[in-house]
Chain A
């Protein structure tokens, strides 16, 4: 029920929502859990394995039980903790893992098989027969396991990344966090404060405590107002720091729109923060742990601190008759709050001699709860003495576990503290200081003082000066505790890990079967392996394992926490890197022109290149490609080669650098001339090929293949900076400066006459370069070189003029039959000419393999020279570049096929090489290809078996010279 007064909810406004189709109402400030509890609904879900009825255990993100499915359609969201789901108008929530209904779940029969389903059940049960695993067991297990259903449509929401920088990051905004933030902010430091909750204040909102003589939540409000007024302070509510990484990097997720039905226009659903903090204060508080006893998972059984949080913050009291089972003083605070809220309260204090800390409640000193009774909710509490107490609420105060999770992310192992019966943060977390309850200071005044100290210290370490924060007046509440983790009894229903349904029995079994190591026991029982990472379970589980193995808890050790602290959606991590934003696209300066002229595009690394330009009436890509290739050899074609890597090497040391990098001689090249060049890797294999034009004595212009542009640039810089640092030279990427086209074909000279302001440079010989102007004064460069085997030039114009140039060029070329050609036709032309490209420049071929052996300079040193002469690299049996010619127009040749001696058995050992490239040659009227073939140069004119088992290819073809057309090169020199 909702208490008539109190709570931090807005009673003037009502929010309507549904749970399992039934309508409820709540108020702004409510969570789904608090609103349901205010309606007396305690049953919220079914457990993972045994389908046991479960209700709310906790108050925040540690919740292991109350997991529900929110929303519907593409926004359906499984396994959301009802304790952190903020209410909004129209919220649809459903329970999960039950059929047909939450109150009557057929799957609960699994409880009858519980003895069979205990730890190691999979390993023991599904061993044989082996064939059953794939067909029967796995599908069965998959169907039975899991909780909610993932959405089956793409996520419609947007996610955002955010980079935050601060001097002091404060994680948590309870008393310690707020004091730390104030102390740091007052020094002038940049501060980011995060809190998981929509409303900042931590336990100050959930406990009845006083600061400066007034309710503590008022002080929290004042502190937040002061913080918000600092320009250097960023307050991030609804934000979970979920991971700690090197160099003060913290990952956090901000739930920007999770509290709304849908994100407002333009707003992301969630925002992933990368926070770089000079120092951080971990004020993440502590989590109350359960005590294992029979039936301790029934709805109505809650953490004592959570129950009083629901009473104080949400004015929600989900029962009338309450039992508080406590191992320490803290449970008495819950007892007092429940009593004042109007409940009838019995305190069962496990400590025999402990005094009563609240009046007006019944007190069973030295009592222990042995078993909780009830079907879908708690009816009765049975003590070890046999005494039975009728109750609909059982608050369990088993002691506090400081939230050390984030300190583990750097590998720091938590340390057991005997006095608190809890693990405290280990030492040596660089830049991160735990404070307040997270550091084991579990009382209010201590939290405030510790937070203020840690905040100031962090700011000082970040280089700021300031005075200690004047502490507000507050008291330390009684907080004595006697360790109590489990009550021996029916261990098969004494739950330790609620979310994974791990019982005290399971842990005892693991210990008996030899899984004594905490890491082994964890994996064998799945203790702490649910999405809550055992926030409530781990310490209780360790205590039972310690008892079973006759060791202390510190001897038993503890498992470590890993990121993420709470589950994080993949969407938040992907951010805007989805769809087209997955990676950037590079477009050439002629992209728009190509798109307007029928081009389709192919991805080449980050680039989009025109693959062919379809014309009306063409039935498929082959029609377009054949036409384009034929037109180049008959008339003239133009191809966008802007994506080829372009590098200028400038300075007095340029020639010396290039002599080292290229395998052939460069310094002998005369200004105004171009040379084809090959670069080797240090290991002697070919790295890349391209052209090198000498523009002036101290200026070279290099081209690389599109794929290797970055690698070559990196290589040149390495060679300069590491091998030849004394050279005065600069290596500049100029790829984006030029719109570059190849104009090829017998009529290309006539075409270019139409755009060059002065046609004289067209008379320059093959492999020459000239600075020219085009189209009335636009500076350009004219390179006479050919990849197609035709008379050809490349023209480079300033990138921004590319499209305008293309229009003028096409107009000038129209009378000569000029047509654009794409990368496919380019590929056909180069195969016809036997030029090596991607399939041959694959990092495993030498210059000699590619027929370029004569290019290796004998008169100078160059990178790769020595290792290119290794015996294996000069072995005459190495596969070398050859051509392959099909016997007729019907024979099919595919890249990747293996080459075998005719008659040899098809085996890996008999493979003599493989086909590296193949195409339909419209000029030869058949398919042709390039291949790497062992002893290939001596096999020209012979037959070889081309064997392609993957695609059912097996035929004999003719080996030939790789240059299919015009081997003398007369067309190029025309």
Chain B
């Protein structure tokens, strides 16, 4: 088997802030799979994300879900309905007391708890990068196409500047 590489290998990270307001972390070891057809199977509806035993399901389009799961595992659906995407998505976790504020510099959507509560997900853009964003507990997760990962991470680090950003390797 070949070793997996992070799309953020070339990322220049700022010195860790003393008072941390925002942490940024790549969720490595994740694989993405597209699922076709899954209505009535307990999967989230439009604008939804659901953490399940085998991973996270995100509504992607009518009859389509993006499944994120540990690399090397296969989500429990018939193979004919799955399309493996391997490491096609980079998932970044943005956490910390000033995470929502930092994200608000990039995301043109309302991240307030009334509009974007638990299990909410949105397909939107951050610094012209198409992203999917959802809540995971107190933290936010932002996924983008792997090829955009470095640009997105740079934009997130810039958003964290002045807010005590720390990149967790």
A residues neighboring B (CB under 8 Å): 158, 160-165, 190, 264-268, 274, 276, 576-577, 580-581, 583-589, 592, 607, 648, 650-651, 696, 698, 728, 730, 732, 734-738, 774-779, 797-805, 808
User: Which of A274, A585, A774 is close to B151, meaning CB atoms less than 8 Å apart?
Assistant: A585
Let me know if B83 is at the binding interface, CB within 8 A: yes
Given A266-B162, A584-B127, A737-B86, also A163-B109 (CB < 8 A): yes
For the complex, give the distance between the alpha carbons of A736 and B106 in Å: 23
Given A165-B112, A584-B128, A777-B1, also A737-B7 (CB < 8 A): no
CB of A581 within 8 A of CB of B127, answer: yes
Let me know if B13 is at the binding interface, CB within 8 A: no
CB of B88 within 8 A of CB of A736, answer: yes
CB of A580 within 8 A of CB of B154, answer: yes
Let me know if B104 is at the binding interface, CB within 8 A: yes
For the complex, give the distance between the alpha carbons of A737 and B7 in Å: 12
Residues of A within 8 A of B162 (CB): 264-268
CB of A736 within 8 A of CB of B89, answer: yes
Let me know if B117 is at the binding interface, CB within 8 A: no
- Size range of the interface on B? 35 or more
For the complex, give the distance between the alpha carbons of A584 and B129 in Å: 7
| 25 interchain pairs, CB-CB under 8 A | A163-B104, A163-B105, A163-B108, A163-B109, A165-B115, A266-B163, A576-B127, A576-B158, A584-B128, A584-B151, A585-B148, A588-B147, A589-B7, A592-B10, A607-B147, A650-B36, A696-B80, A730-B36, A732-B64, A735-B145, A737-B86, A776-B2, A778-B1, A801-B5, A804-B5
| Complex interface residues of chain B between 134 and 160 (CB less than 8 A to chain A) | 145-148, 150-152, 154-155, 158-159
Chain A interface mostly: mixed
**Nearest opposing residue in chain A for B10, CB measure:** A592
CB of B80 within 8 A of CB of A698, answer: yes
CB of A162 within 8 A of CB of B88, answer: no
Let me know if B97 is at the binding interface, CB within 8 A: no
User: Which of A265, A576, A592 is close to B5, meaning CB atoms less than 8 Å apart?
Assistant: A592
CB of B1 within 8 A of CB of A161, answer: no
CB of A804 within 8 A of CB of B3, answer: yes
Given A160-B105, A587-B150, A808-B2, also A581-B155 (CB < 8 A): yes
Let me know if B53 is at the binding interface, CB within 8 A: no
**Nearest opposing residue in chain A for B115, CB measure:** A165
Let me know if B110 is at the binding interface, CB within 8 A: yes
For the complex, give the distance between the alpha carbons of A914 and B147 in Å: 36
CB of B9 within 8 A of CB of A592, answer: yes
Let me know if B43 is at the binding interface, CB within 8 A: no
For the complex, give the distance between the alpha carbons of A781 and B94 in Å: 35
For the complex, give the distance between the alpha carbons of A117 and B121 in Å: 62
CB of A799 within 8 A of CB of B148, answer: no
| Complex interface residues of chain B between 1 and 41 (CB less than 8 A to chain A) | 1-7, 9-10, 32, 34, 36-37
Given A732-B34, A775-B1, A775-B2, also A162-B104 (CB < 8 A): yes
Given contacts A587-B150, A592-B9, 18 further A-B contacts (CB under 8 A): A162-B104, A162-B105, A163-B105, A265-B162, A268-B162, A581-B155, A585-B150, A589-B7, A607-B147, A730-B61, A730-B64, A730-B83, A737-B84, A737-B85, A776-B1, A800-B5, A803-B5, A804-B4
Q: What's the least CB distance linking A609 to chain B, in Å?
A: 11
Q: What's the least CB distance linking A450 to chain B, in Å?
A: 29
Given A584-B129, A698-B80, also A736-B146 (CB < 8 A): yes
User: Which of B2, B71, B88, B150 is close to A734, meaning CB atoms less than 8 Å apart?
Assistant: B88
CB of A802 within 8 A of CB of B5, answer: yes
Q: What's the least CB distance linking B111 to chain A, in Å?
A: 8
CB of A801 within 8 A of CB of B152, answer: no
**Nearest opposing residue in chain B for A256, CB measure:** B162
**Nearest opposing residue in chain A for B61, CB measure:** A730
For the complex, give the distance between the alpha carbons of A444 and B63 in Å: 59
For the complex, give the distance between the alpha carbons of A585 and B159 in Å: 17
Q: What's the least CB distance linking A428 to chain B, in Å?
A: 27
**Nearest opposing residue in chain B for A268, CB measure:** B162
Residues of A within 8 A of B45 (CB): none
Let me know if B123 is at the binding interface, CB within 8 A: no
Residues of A within 8 A of B145 (CB): 586, 735-736
Q: What's the least CB distance linking A728 to chain B, in Å?
A: 8
User: Which of B147, B148, B154 is close to A581, meaning CB atoms less than 8 Å apart?
Assistant: B154
For the complex, give the distance between the alpha carbons of A267 and B165 in Å: 12
CB of A799 within 8 A of CB of B161, answer: no
For the complex, give the distance between the alpha carbons of A577 and B127 in Å: 8
User: Which of B4, B71, B83, B158 is close to A732, meaning CB atoms less than 8 Å apart?
Assistant: B83
Let me know if B96 is at the binding interface, CB within 8 A: no
